[in-house]
Amino acid sequence: MENTRSMARIIVVTSGKGGVGKTTSSAAIGIGLALKGHKVVLIDFDIGLRNLDLIMGCERRVVYDFVNVINGEATLNQALIKDKRVSSLSVLPASQTRDKDALNKENVGKVLEELGKTFDYILCDSPAGIEAGAMMALYYADEAIVTTNPEVSSVRDSDRILGMLSSRSRRAELGLDPIKEHLLLTRYSPKRVEEGEMLSVEDVKDILAIPLLGVIPESEAVLKASNAGEPVILDTESDAGKAYQDVIDRLLGETVDFRFLVAEKKGILSRIFGG
Amino acid sequence: MALLDYFLRKKEKQVTTASKAKERLQIIVAHERNNRNKQPDYLPQLTEDILNVLRKYIHVSDKSLSVNLDKKDGDLNVLELNIELHDENNAS
């Protein structure tokens, strides 16, 4: 098994807490890696609550899903949706109605092994929580992008997920090298940090003690992007789009300075007159 | 008003909510990590007892035995004993 496994990098995007930006980040990172010429497949592990298709803008092209493939009702090729913008990117949607016990280690492992023959990157968009679905999404991971908001409950849940990564994954069970962990801080507001109202990057790094992959600023561009089904990384003028671009470069081994960590300075007039 | 706020803010260097958040998180996270890695209290004594039994039959050093309790999926706990034997032991 170990030898036949391909060299595809399996990366789980996880968080514990819901609503912190896992799917937004998965979509952006998937597109970003594919734009760099890599073959990427994005898998939605949120069985029953499919959403990656919407964020990717391919919701009307879903015919078969992950569970159909698992049950042998469709082949992988039938279920994979090729992205219309970047041809080296495919999406494997979650099922909308089936029960979430459809996935188990064996059948998920087989699908990942099959995908590993074709793709360079397998990105697993995890459901929230620490139930079976989230455990399945992280089980085979080589790397984990722990998506965290600078907020107490999100940080605490991220720490719990870090515990799961180091005890419940395949790498942990087989005693292999541990999963490589990355911190992705999202919805960051430098202004509120400066005002002492929000945990800073350094605070979160201190607590979670894992390497920082990126800081995505709180941005209006994110909602616009999901409205349109165009992952925010395609909005190359936006702060969030640029921040995700930096994430891609770091994932590919480059050293890139962190941007958007300080609030834009107010002019003297607005300082005096407020607003 | 903004002007007034600006000067007043410089003076008051009070505890921010962010620093409260950090402090609370550091405590709770450390506590939860401790529980995560916690081995049962009886483990050192168990290790000692097993060593004593082993010593009735073979020569083992303190370091040649490791005892771990692992939590697997669901309710399954695995007690793992690892005993390292050296060649001289096999000979006797």
Closest CA to A262 of A235, A232, A239, A245: A239
**What is the rounded distance in angstroms from the CA atom of residue A231 to the CA atom of residue A223?**
10
What is the Cα–Cα distance from A156 to A150, expressed in whole angstroms? 10
Q: In whole angstroms, what is the distance from residue A109 CA to residue A106 CA?
A: 5
Contact B2 A152 (CB under 8 A): no
Nearest-Cα residue of chain B relative to residue A268? B3
Do A196 and B21 lie within an 8 Å CB cutoff? no
Task: Note the pLDDT of residue A6.
Answer: 54
Instruction: Give the count of Cβ contacts less than 8 A between chain A and B.
Output: 56
Q: Which residue has the tokens 């819901």?
A: A18
The SS3 assignment for A184 reads strand
Cβ of B18 within 8 Å of Cβ of A207? The answer is no
How far is the first Cα of chain A from the last one, in angstroms, to the nearest whole number?
Answer: 62
Q: In whole angstroms, how far apart are CA B17 and each of A182, A239, A263?
A: 26, 26, 18
Reported as a pLDDT band with limits 50, 70 and 90, residue A10 is very high
C-alpha–C-alpha distance, residues A159 and A265, integer Å: 33
Give the C-alpha separation, B32 to A158, whole Å.
Answer: 12
* Per-residue pLDDT tens listing for chain B (92 residues): 666 666 666 555 578 999 999 999 999 999 998 888 777 778 888 888 999 999 999 888 888 888 877 766 556 778 888 888 876 545 44
Phi then psi for A188, rounded to 5 degrees?
A: -85, 130
Nearest-Cα residue of chain B relative to residue A194: B18
Residue with tokens 């494997």: A92
At A2, is the pLDDT very low, low, confident or very high (cuts 50, 70, 90)? very low
Q: Report the sign of the C-alpha dihedral through residues A11, A255, A245, A194, in that order.
A: positive
Displacement of CA A113 from its chain's centroid (Å): 20
| Residue of B17, B27, B29 to mutate for A, most A C-beta atoms under 10 A | B29
Give A255: exposed, middle or buried? Use CB within 10 Å, 0-12, 13-18, 19+.
Answer: exposed
- Contacts of residue A12, Cβ cutoff 8 Å, sequence gap at least 6: A123, A124, A126, A137, A138, A141, A143, A144, A145
Distance from the B26 Cα atom to the nearest Cα atom in chain A, whole angstroms? 6
Strand partners, B78: B70
- State pLDDT tens for residues A14-31: 999 999 999 999 999 999
Q: Please return the burial class of B81, using the count of CB atoms within 10 Å of its CB with bins 0-12, 13-18 and 19+.
A: exposed
Assigned token pair, A65: 């899903």
Q: Name every chain B residue with its beta carbon within 8 A of the beta carbon of A163.
A: 32-33, 36
Neighbours of B92 (CB within 10 A): 7
Q: Could you say which DSSP state residue A270 is in?
A: H
The lowest-confidence range among A72-76, A215-219, A247-251, A270-274 is A270-274
The reply to whether the predicted model has a pTM over 0.90 is: no
Contact A168, A138 (CB under 8 A): yes
Q: Which of A159, A197, A207 sits opposite B16 (nearest CB)?
A: A197
A93-113 per-position pLDDT tens digit? 999 876 767 899 999 999 999
Q: Which residues of B lie closer than 8 Å to A, measured between beta carbons?
A: 1-3, 5-6, 16-19, 21-22, 24-26, 28-29, 32-33, 36, 71, 73
* pLDDT (0 to 100) of residue A241: 97
Please say whether the beta carbons of A229 and A235 come within 8 A.
no
| Residue with the two structure tokens 């962990």 | A181
- What is the model's pLDDT at position A1? 44
